[in-house]
C-alpha cells in the first residue's frame, strides 16, 4: 500500500475539511469531508467531534471500503458509513462533503427539492437538486448512517440520476451531501449548493411562477462539463 | 477557598464571553456568560457594561449563591440575578450564556417557541425550544432579573423539562438563555440555538406543514447524549 | 478657540466614522458622522466622498453653527447642513451618525416606523422609532439637506419627542440619522437601530400581532437611562 | 501600441477583479471585470476559470475590439464576448463588471426589474434597473455570450436608456452586468446594485405600495452626476 498516496489523500481531505469551515458552510463540528484513493480503495475522513481549530492533516482517519479503520488512533466521523456507501455506489466519485450549511439545510428541513431557476445552478447541477424523503423508523433505529448512504445510492439509481451530473442531494429533516470526481470538485459543489439554495429561496418568494428554460440549463451545464466544455484553462475530460 | 479553582472559572467565563462575541452572538455589550465552581458554590460572570475589547479574564466578577460579590471592584452583569436563580434551580448546570443573538431574539420577540424540524436542532435540544410568556408587571417592576430566573426554573419544573435535555429557552420580548453541564457546552448550545432559530424561521416559511418524525429527534439527541452516545472521541458520561 | 478641543473632536469624529464602516453600517461612502464641541459651537465632520480607506483624523472638516467651514481645505460631507440643523435644534446632542445601513434603510424605504417589540430596542429607544414622511418637492429642490434637518427637528418638536429618549429616526425613501449626548452614544444608537430594524422585520413576519407591554419598555429604558439607571460601572447622569 | 497604457489597464482590471471578491460579490470564480483603453481599442479581462487566490495582474488577458487575444497565453473569461459587445455598443463605457452577486441574481432569477424606491438607488441608477428577458433558444445555442452582449445593447437602444444614467442591468435567469465611465465606477455600481437589490427585496415585502417620488430620484442622481453635481471633492465632468 503506497504511503505516499495515503498521505496525499489525508492532506486533500484535511484541506477540504478546513475549506468548508472557511467558507462558513460548517458551524461548530457540523460537517465532514473525505477523499478516496481509488487505486487502494481507501478514503481519508475527518475524525469524529474534533474541533476544527485543533485539526491537523495527520489526524485524518483512513478507512477501507469495508468500513475498517486502517490507520488512526482516532475514531472516524460518525457519518463515515454514509461516505462509504456513496463511494461504493458511485464509482466515479473521488470526494464527498457533508455539511449542515444553513440554506441547503433550510430546504432539507422543508423537505423540498431545489428547483433549477438560474445559470449558477445550471453550471453545477444538471437539474433540480433532489430532496430525499425521511428515512423510515426501522432504518433510523437500526443502522442509521449506513441506511442514509444506501438511501442516496438507491434514489439516484431508481431515478436514473447520474451522480456526476447531479453531484449532491438533500436529506429531509437533515442536511446535504455533495460530491465530485475530486474532493476539490466536491467542495465547489457544496459551495454552489449553498449559494443556489440561498438564491432560489428568495427568487421564488419574489416570483412563484418562474419558467427557467431547459435550453439554458443545458447550455450552461455543458459549457463546463463534458466533451464540448469551453470554460477554464484546461479541457475537462 | 481554592484560589486556583476560582482563577480557573474566571478564565473559563472570560473565554466564553469572548467566544460569543467572536461568533457574532453579541452586538455591543448585549450578552454575558458565567461559569460556576460547584465545589465552592461560586460563579464567575462578566462585569456590567464593560466593552468586550477591553475585557481581561481578571475582570470577571466572582459571586456566591446568595448573590454577593466575593471578589472584584467591578459590578457584575446586570443579569447576574438571573444566572444565580438558574444555578440554584438547575443543579447540573455548570455554565450559562445569555445573548441577544439576532435569530433567537427574533423568535423571542414573536413570542414563539422554536419547533424541532431537523437533526441540527435534535443534536442539541430534545424537543421544541420553549418561549416563556412575558413577565407580569409586578414582577418586572419589583425584582426583574431575579424574577426572570425564577420564571425559567418554575417553567421547566412545571412542564417537567429536564434542563440538561433542553439546555436553553427564549423569553418573550427579550432574548435567550442557554446553559450546559460545562460553560463550553453552554456556549455550543447558544451557537446551536442561534443556527436553529435562523434555519427554522426560513424552513417554515417554505413549508408550513413540516412533520419531523420523533424517532429522528430521539436518534440524533441520544447519539450525542446519554449512555449510548457514539459521537466524538470520548464517551460522554 | 482651543486647538486642543478641536483636535479632540476631529479625532472623535474620525473614530466614529471608522467604527460605522467596521460595523458594516456603511457601504462605499454612504455615511458620515460628526462630533460637536459645544463650548465653541464647532463640529467636526467627514469630508465629502473621500474613501474610508484613505481617511485620516486630520481630514475631518470643522464647521461652525452658521455652516461655515472654519478649518479644512476639503469640502465637508454633502449632508453637513442636516447635521447642522440637528445640532441647532437639539441642544443636548453631542454627536450624530448618518448611514444607509441596510435594515434601517429597508424600513425607511417602506416608509414605516419601527415598532418597539423587545428589550433590545427598549434599552436604546423609548418607543417606536419614527419614520418621517417624504419631503415635499419644493423643499427637495430648494435646499434639500437643510430642509431634511429642519424636518427632523420640527417633527420631534411637534410630536413632543425628547431627542435623548428617542435618539434617532428614519427618513422615508432615504435612510436613518442617529445621535446621542456623545458621539460614542450616537454610534451605539446607530448600531442598535440597525440590529432592531433587522430583528423587528423578521419578528413581525412570524407574528403580526405582537403586544409588547409598555411596562417592559419603561423598565429597560430606565434601567440604562436617567436617575435610577443601574446598568454599567458608572451611574449615568 | 503603448505598453505602458496596456500594463495600466491590466492593473486596473486586476484591482477590480480582486475588489469584487473582497466585497463578496463573487463566489468561487463566478465573476469577471474588465477595463478598456479607448485610445488603443484594447481591453484587459480576467482569464477564464483561474482561482482568485492565484491571480496576478500580469494574468489579465488583453483583447481587441474584434475579440482577438493580443497578449496572453491564457484564455480570456468565457464572458469576454459579452464585454466586447458592451464596449462596442456603449462608447462611453470604460469598465465592466459581471458577477453572480446573490441579491442581484435573486431578482434576475425572478425575472424582475428592481424598482427605484430610495436614495441609495437614485444616487447610482437613474430609474428602475431593468431585467432583460430570457434569450431565445437559437441565440443561446448559437453564439451565447455574443448574443448576451447584443441583447443588452439593443435593449438599451430600443428603450432609449442612456448607459451612463443606467449603468447596469439584470439578465433573466442569469445575473447582472454593471459598467461605468471608469472601472472604478463600474465597481461602485456593482456594489450599489447588490445593496439596492437586497434592500428593495425587503422593503417591498414590508410595503407593496411604495410611491417613491420622481423628484427625489432626480435630486439624488443629479447631485452626484452631471453639470450640477456637488457631491465629492472634485466636480465630475
Q: What is the pTM of this model?
A: 0.95
**Who contacts C231 (Cβ-Cβ below 8 Å, separation ≥6)?**
B48, B49, B78, C223, C224
**Residue B167 vs residues A217, B11, B197: alpha-carbon distances, Å:** 46, 22, 14
- Given a contact cutoff of 8 angstroms between Cβ atoms, the answer to whether B189 and B168 are in contact is yes
CA distances from A182 to A16, A87, B92, B234, D225 (A): 11, 12, 46, 32, 50
Nearest chain A CA: its distance from B201 CA (Å): 9
Does residue D14 surpass a pLDDT of 70? Answer: yes
Q: Is B8 on the interface with C (CB under 8 A)?
A: no
Helices A80-89/A144-158 angle, 10° precision? 30
**pLDDT at residue number D51:** 84
C-alpha cell at A163: 451522480
Q: What is the pLDDT confidence band of residue D43, given thresholds at 50, 70 and 90? A: very high
Partners of chain C (3+ Cβ pairs below 8 A): B, D
B47 touches chain C (CB under 8 A): yes
Query: For D190-218, what is each residue's pLDDT tens digit?
Result: 999 999 999 999 999 999 999 999 999 99
- C147 touches B at CB < 8 Å: no
- Identify all chain B residues contacting C219, using CB atoms and an 8 Å cutoff: 140-141, 144
The predicted structure's pLDDT at residue D226: 75
Residue among C55, C51, C44, C54 nearest C3 (CA): C44
H or E segment to which residue A69 belongs: strand A69-71
pLDDT of residue C230: 66
Please identify every residue of D annotated as catalytic: 123, 231
Q: Which residue of D has its CA nearest to A213?
A: D134
Cα separation, B227 vs B235, whole angstroms: 8
Cell of A236: 475537462
| Catalytic residue of the set B134, B143, B162, B231 | B231
Q: Which residues pair with A95 in a beta bridge?
A: A35, A180
Q: What percent of chain C has pLDDT over 70?
A: 95
Of A202, A23, A197, the C-alpha closest to A109 is: A197
CB nearest to C27's CB, from D119, D195, D230: D195
Residues of C forming the active site: 123, 231
Provide the chain D residues 150-189 that lie in CB contact (below 8 A) with chain C.
Answer: 188
For an interface test with C, the pick among B78, B106, B133 (most C C-beta atoms closer than 10 Å) comes out as B106
Is B201 an active-site residue? Answer: no
The verdict on ipTM greater than 0.85 is yes
Residue D94 per-residue DSSP state: -
Comparing alpha-carbon positions, the chain C residue that sits nearest to B26 is C195
To which residue does cell 469551453 refer?
A230
For residues B25 and B101, is the Cβ–Cβ distance under 8 A? yes
Buried b (16+ CB within 10 A) or exposed e, C32-52: bbbbbbeebebbbbbbbbbee
Q: Select the more confidently predicted residue: B181 or B5.
A: B181
Distance in angstroms (rounded) separating the CA atoms of residues D6 and C232: 59
- The mean per-residue pLDDT over the stretch A175-182 comes to 98
Q: Above 90 in pLDDT, residue C166?
A: yes
B172: cell is 418573550
Q: Taking Cα atoms as reference points, which of B168, B32, B191 lies closest to residue B113? A: B168
For residue C64, what is the enclosing H or E element? strand C61-64
Checking if the pLDDT of D219 tops 70, the result is yes
Identify the helix (H) or strand (E) that includes residue A32. Answer: strand A31-37
Average pLDDT, chain C: 94
pLDDT reported for residue B230 = 66
Chains C and A touch (3+ CB pairs under 8 A): no
Q: Give the model's pLDDT for residue D231.
A: 63
CB A149 within 8 Å of CB A160: no
- In a 3-state reduction of DSSP, which class is residue A228? coil
Q: Which three cell numbers stand for residue D131?
A: 431585467
What confidence tens digit (pLDDT) does each residue in A24-46 have? 999 999 999 999 999 999 999 99
Please give the Cα distance from C178 to C98 (Å, whole number): 6
* Mean predicted lDDT score pLDDT of chain A: 94
Comparing A65-74, B79-88, B226-235, D174-183, the range with the smallest average pLDDT is: B226-235
Chains B and D touch (3+ CB pairs under 8 A): no
| Pairwise pLDDT comparison (B49 vs D139), residue with the higher score | D139
Q: Looking at the partner chain, which of B78, B111, B175 has a beta carbon nearest the beta carbon of C231? A: B78
Q: How far is CA D157 from the centre of its chain?
A: 17
Taking the CA of residue C111 as centre, how many other CA atoms within 13 Å lie in the half-sphere pointing to its CB?
A: 12
Give the neighbours of chain A: at least 3 Cβ pairs within 8 Å.
B, D
> Tell me: the pLDDT tens digits for A5-19?
899 999 999 999 999
| C204/chain D closest Cα distance in angstroms | 10
Could you tell me which residue, D142 or B226, shows the higher pLDDT? D142
- Structure-block grid coordinates of residue C138: 419644493
Residues 103-132 of chain A with CB under 8 A from chain D are 117-120, 123
> Got the DSSP string for A157-215?
HHTT--TTTS-EEEETTS-EEEEESSHHHHHHHHHHHHHHHHHHHHHHHH-TT----HH
- Ramachandran sector of residue A98 (left: φ over 0; alpha: ψ -120 to 50; beta: rest): beta
Contacts (Cβ under 8 Å, ≥6 apart) of A50: A29, A59, A74, B233
Q: How many CA atoms lie within 13 A of C122 on its CB side?
A: 20
Q: Kindly determine whether residue B106 and residue C202, on different chains, have CB atoms separated by under 8 Å.
A: yes
* pLDDT exceeds 50 at position A237: no
Q: Hey, CA dihedral for D178, D183, D184, D185, is it positive or negative? A: negative
> For A199-223, how does the pLDDT look when each residue is reduced to its tens digit (9 = 90+)?
999 999 999 999 999 999 999 998 8
Interface with A, mutate which of D110, D112, D113, D132 (most A CBs under 10 A):
D110
Backbone angles phi, psi at B47, to 5 degrees: -70, 160
| Inter-chain residue contact C48 with D206, CB threshold 8 Å | no
**Pairing label, strands D168-171, D176-180:** antiparallel
pLDDT greater at residue B10 or residue D225? B10
pLDDT of A236 strictly over 50 = no
> In angstroms, what CA-CA distances link C143 with C82, C85, C135, C140, D213?
10, 12, 11, 6, 17
Give the contacts of B3 (CB within 8 A, at least 6 positions apart): none
Going by C-beta distance under 8 Å and a sequence separation of 6 or more, which residues neighbour residue C71?
C6, C61, C62
Decide if C173 and D199 are in contact by the 8 Å CB cutoff.
no
Amino acid at each position: 500500500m503506497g504511503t505516499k498516496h495515503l498521505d496525499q489523500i489525508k492532506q486533500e481531505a484535511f484541506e477540504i475539511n478546513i475549506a468548508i469551515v472557511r467558507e462558513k458552510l460548517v458551524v461548530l463540528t457540523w460537517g465532514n469531508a473525505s477523499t478516496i484513493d481509488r487505486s487502494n480503495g481507501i478514503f481519508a475522513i475527518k475524525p469524529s467531534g474534533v474541533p476544527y481549530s485543533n485539526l491537523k492533516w495527520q489526524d485524518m482517519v483512513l478507512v477501507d471500503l469495508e468500513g475498517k479503520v486502517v490507520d488512526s488512533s482516532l475514531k472516524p466521523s460518525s457519518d463515515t458509513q454514509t461516505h462509504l456507501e456513496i463511494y461504493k455506489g458511485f464509482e466515479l466519485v473521488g470526494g464527498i462533503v457533508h455539511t449542515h450549511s444553513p440554506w441547503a439545510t433550510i430546504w432539507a428541513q422543508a423537505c423540498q427539492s431545489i428547483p433549477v431557476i438560474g445559470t449558477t445552478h445550471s453550471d453545477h447541477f444538471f437539474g433540480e437538486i433532489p430532496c430525499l424523503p425521511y428515512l423510515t423508523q426501522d432504518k433510523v433505529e437500526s443502522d442509521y448512517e449506513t441506511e442514509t448512504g444506501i438511501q442516496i445510492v438507491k434514489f439516484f439509481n431508481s431515478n436514473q440520476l447520474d451522480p456526476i451530473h447531479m453531484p449532491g442531494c438533500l436529506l429531509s429533516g437533515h442536511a446535504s451531501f455533495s460530491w465530485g470526481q475530486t474532493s476539490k470538485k466536491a467542495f465547489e459543489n457544496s459551495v454552489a449548493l449553498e449559494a443556489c439554495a440561498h438564491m432560489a429561496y428568495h427568487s421564488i418568494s419574489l416570483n412563484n411562477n418562474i419558467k427557467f428554460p431547459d435550453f439554458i440549463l443545458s447550455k450552461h451545464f455543458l459549457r463546463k462539463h463534458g466533451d464540448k466544455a469551453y470554460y477554464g484553462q484546461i479541457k475537462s475530460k
